[in-house]
Structure 1
Amino acid sequence: MDKSTILRLLHSALSLGAANVKRRIVRFRQKADYERFLSEWSRFGNSAKLVRHLPSIHGFSLPIAQDLLASSACADIWVENDPLLTVHNTAFKSVSREKGIPWGVQEIKAPLAWSMTTGHRVKVGIIDTGVDFSHPDLKHSLGRGINLLSRGSLPHDDNGHGTHIAGTIAAANQVHGMIGVAPRATVYPVKAFDHNGSAFVSDIVLGIDWCVRNKMDIVNMSFGMKTRSKSLLTAVTNAYNAGVIIVASSGNDGKRKSIDYPARYPQTIAVGATNRLRRIAPFSNRGTFIDVYAPGDKILSSWLRGKYHEMSGTSMATSHVSGAIALLLAHRPGLSPAEIKAVVKRSMLPLRGTKAPRVAGELDVMQMLQTGDRR
């Protein structure tokens, strides 16, 4: 790829007034072309801030006009859309106060494990909308994290979803507030989602990259999309190969044979949602792609401005699984992502109302710890 082609791509990114300009992820067939593009891009300085560098996949996200895509200029690159993903929750309502142990944390038997493990020193990256750093139930559980939308700022939550996820994983306010699954784990908010609960795939790729570089043990991904993305798969595979456990929500469409990405990738642990009756929640996607189910219906957890909300969704189920794996890793450090997934799948309890042997069961922390001890 010659210099003029690279400059055409960069100029395309700067001319957003053109028709049919979509954000796309570009990856180069030749490493030398990637390095040449990187060099030219760096010379543009702030004027090229609409171009996002994705170093872990040797790519860039940038707006490209449709007419440029159809030209020979793109023969030496792979191009895919950089679509929006959304967080996985359905309904929610405000609750005046919460004390003690939420029903989902009780259901998976986490309190029975706390005499053996509380998740101490396990690092959980939450790629989400950020976290309320002032919430009294979270202040002992938070690492600094990163704000990918505003690099100089703390990853403050302007939506609420990320704060809710963090509370289920690691809230720790025994006297006045609620307790999460792994109260001594440390959660690191990675703000990739905006106040609407939306993020580009490129934001997720950057979030995964940050989690790998900062040595997270677990990454919670309570979001998804319907379409496959090679860039997202590459980032997930890189994390898996680096020993990072990725827990992902399956989606809330009530589908019986399909789940969302990235949960559908085999390198993740795909989570469906159950209700208080230990049945699959009606909204939850289900089927053979699900690895484990966990409580996800009417889950009470922390919210913005020190408050509490009840939320439903496979997002909420995923945070229970991330917390449970934190308990297991603190108890049995060094287990690989493949070993963790095997332990989770071998220690599930059968769901109520399901007879098929291939149906995944519900998360059970005590069974997980016992199975982990036998490895």
Structure 2
Amino acid sequence: MDRTEILRWLHRKLAAPATGTKRRIVRFRRHGDYKRFLNVWTEWAASSAKRERVRHLPLIQGFSFPDEGGASSGFPVKAVWLEADQPVAVDAPNIMPKPTTADRGIPWGVQKIKAPLAWSSTTGHRIKVGVIDTGVDFNHPDLKQSLGRGINLLNRSALPFDDNGHGTHIAGTIAAANQVHGMIGVAPRATVYPVKAFDNNGSAFVSDIVLGIEWCVNNGMNVINMSFGMKSRSKSLLSAVNHAYNSGVIIVASSGNDGKRKAVDYPARYPQTIAVGATTRLRRVAPFSNRGMHIDIYAPGDKILSAWLRGKYNEMSGTSMATSHVSGAIALLLAQHPDLSPGDIKTILKKSMVPLRGTKVPRVTGELDIVRMLQAAER
């Protein structure tokens, strides 16, 4: 594919009006083809008013383009992998958020996994948790000491402010730190770096997630929290997850809220992630939680109180909430054992989990217990 072909394809690709919502990811099979395309695109983008419609995905040697009316045709298919840039959604809560003015303190889920018993020896200090989500409320009193700058992938010139609430709730469970008047998260001295990839409706594309993973890897995140999912497999997303895994970054992902017994959402279904299901106060699998052989561990996810927009608090249920408990727990573990690999951590979690109630085979997958987790890491 020579320079003229690339330019002709780019112009044709972006000739259609930007009215649709479909996108397509193009990944190059050979590094040389990718570099050649990148050089031409970089030069072309400098003078094109439509450059914002193209997303460069260096982590997977690819690009995401608008896909209007089959505009992907004409590309030399033998030189690339083509796939739909699929929509992704944050895991919608099983119940609507409930505002509360009650005393916050230590939420029941943080108590249940025994995080307070670990704080005398580890609080997650110096551990960086990237939260790929809807952003965060930077003005929340319980989060002011717990946040790094992060990035807004939807508007690179702005802070990743939350206009949905989901990301703020996740951040609160991981690392809220306001013991005088507010709530305490699982790892109160860990630092959450919000990566805003989702809009105010909680929607994104796979390419947004790929860019979020790339930012987390390049900026030294120890853990990535992914409280979102999709039903179908994406090779581009798997490629990005593999890159993070091979870089030593732990990815924690929610299983989904469909109440399915043998199905788990992607990316939680990938073996390179830690797949999390949700439990209730009674240590039973929550009715809404997906479950099955792909779940690595369960954690509290039913009626979880955490931070919300405008300095408030909300109660939410979902595997998203369970995932944030596990991300916080891993931050506590890494603060004591920073050299553990993603594989090591999954093994420790599986060794130390507590059997669930009400299951026929309780020893297959259990619930998070931080005290047992830290003990298992010492063996």
Q: 2:13 & 2:183 partners in 1: Cα distance?
A: 47
The residue aligned with 2:285 is: 280
The residue aligned with 1:227 is: 232
Q: 1:40 & 1:270 partners in 2: Cα distance?
A: 40
Secondary structure in 2 aligned to 1:143? coil
Q: 1:290 & 1:281 partners in 2: Cα distance?
A: 13
What are the ranges of 5 or more consecutive residues in structure 1 without an aligned counterpart? none
Q: Does 1:212 align with 2:242?
A: no
The residue aligned with 1:349 is: 354
The answer to whether the Cα contact below 8 Å between 2:18 and 2:66 also exists between their aligned partners in 1 is no
The residue aligned with 2:45 is: 44
The answer to whether the Cα contact below 8 Å between 1:126 and 1:221 also exists between their aligned partners in 2 is yes
- Tell me the CA shift for residue 333 of structure 1: 1.7
The answer to whether the Cα contact below 8 Å between 2:24 and 2:72 also exists between their aligned partners in 1 is no
The answer to which of 18-27 and 166-175 deviates more is 18-27
The residue aligned with 2:7 is: 7
The residue aligned with 1:53 is: 56
The answer to which of 58-67 and 238-247 deviates more is 58-67
Code of the aligned partner of 2:195: V
Query: Relative to 1, partners in 2 of residues 1:64 and 1:6: Cα closer, same or farther, differing over 3 Å?
Result: farther
Q: 1:19 & 1:154 partners in 2: Cα distance?
A: 27
The residue aligned with 1:340 is: 345
Among 249, 252, 260, the alignment partner of 2:254 is 249
Query: Relative to 1, partners in 2 of residues 1:312 and 1:135: Cα closer, same or farther, differing over 3 Å?
Result: same
- Residue deviations 1:158-206, cap 9 Å, x none? 0000000000000000000000000000000000000000111000000
Q: Does 1:236 align with 2:237?
A: no
- Tell me the CA shift for residue 10 of structure 1: 1.3
Query: Relative to 1, partners in 2 of residues 1:75 and 1:118: Cα closer, same or farther, differing over 3 Å?
Result: same
The answer to whether the Cα contact below 8 Å between 2:350 and 2:365 also exists between their aligned partners in 1 is yes
Q: 2:62 & 2:103 partners in 1: Cα distance?
A: 45
- Tell me the CA shift for residue 48 of structure 1: 1.6
Q: 1:174 & 1:342 partners in 2: Cα distance?
A: 32
Q: Does 1:75 align with 2:78?
A: yes
Query: Relative to 1, partners in 2 of residues 1:89 and 1:21: Cα closer, same or farther, differing over 3 Å?
Result: closer
Query: Relative to 1, partners in 2 of residues 1:219 and 1:19: Cα closer, same or farther, differing over 3 Å?
Result: closer
The residue aligned with 2:92 is: 89
Identity percentage of aligned residues: 71
Code of the aligned partner of 2:45: F
The answer to whether the Cα contact below 8 Å between 1:13 and 1:48 also exists between their aligned partners in 2 is no
- Tell me the CA shift for residue 97 of structure 1: 4.0
The answer to which of 74-83 and 137-146 deviates more is 74-83
Secondary structure in 2 aligned to 1:49? helix
Query: Relative to 1, partners in 2 of residues 1:190 and 1:98: Cα closer, same or farther, differing over 3 Å?
Result: farther
- Match runs of 1:1-375 below 5 Å: 1-17=1-17, 22-42=22-42, 43-45=44-46, 46-71=49-74, 73-90=76-93, 91=95, 92-356=97-361, 359-374=364-379
Q: 2:18 & 2:208 partners in 1: Cα distance?
A: 24
Query: Relative to 1, partners in 2 of residues 1:75 and 1:20: Cα closer, same or farther, differing over 3 Å?
Result: farther
- Tell me the CA shift for residue 296 of structure 1: 0.3
Q: 2:233 & 2:107 partners in 1: Cα distance?
A: 35
- Residue deviations 1:347-367, cap 9 Å, x none? 000001113156310000000
The answer to whether the Cα contact below 8 Å between 2:13 and 2:71 also exists between their aligned partners in 1 is no
- Tell me the CA shift for residue 34 of structure 1: 1.2
Code of the aligned partner of 1:9: W
- Tell me the CA shift for residue 21 of structure 1: 7.7
The answer to which of 61-70 and 314-323 deviates more is 61-70
Q: 1:192 & 1:105 partners in 2: Cα distance?
A: 27
What are the ranges of 5 or more consecutive residues in structure 2 without an aligned counterpart? none
The answer to whether the Cα contact below 8 Å between 1:256 and 1:287 also exists between their aligned partners in 2 is yes
- Tell me the CA shift for residue 128 of structure 1: 0.3
- Tell me the CA shift for residue 18 of structure 1: 8.4
Q: 2:81 & 2:69 partners in 1: Cα distance?
A: 14
Q: 2:292 & 2:23 partners in 1: Cα distance?
A: 33
Code of the aligned partner of 1:48: R
Q: 2:301 & 2:78 partners in 1: Cα distance?
A: 46
- Residue deviations 1:23-80, cap 9 Å, x none? 1100112222211221222223243210000001100001134544444643322110
Q: 2:335 & 2:20 partners in 1: Cα distance?
A: 50
Query: Relative to 1, partners in 2 of residues 1:67 and 1:247: Cα closer, same or farther, differing over 3 Å?
Result: closer
The answer to whether the Cα contact below 8 Å between 2:25 and 2:82 also exists between their aligned partners in 1 is yes
The answer to whether the Cα contact below 8 Å between 2:356 and 2:362 also exists between their aligned partners in 1 is no
Q: 1:340 & 1:231 partners in 2: Cα distance?
A: 25
- Residue deviations 1:283-319, cap 9 Å, x none? 0000000000000010000000000000010000000
Query: Relative to 1, partners in 2 of residues 1:320 and 1:147: Cα closer, same or farther, differing over 3 Å?
Result: same
Q: 1:325 & 1:75 partners in 2: Cα distance?
A: 42
The answer to whether the Cα contact below 8 Å between 1:287 and 1:359 also exists between their aligned partners in 2 is no
- Tell me the CA shift for residue 14 of structure 1: 1.8
Code of the aligned partner of 2:12: S
- Tell me the CA shift for residue 20 of structure 1: 7.9
Q: 1:64 & 1:10 partners in 2: Cα distance?
A: 12
Query: Relative to 1, partners in 2 of residues 1:40 and 1:181: Cα closer, same or farther, differing over 3 Å?
Result: same
The answer to whether the Cα contact below 8 Å between 1:146 and 1:190 also exists between their aligned partners in 2 is yes
TM score, norm. by length of structure 1: 0.96
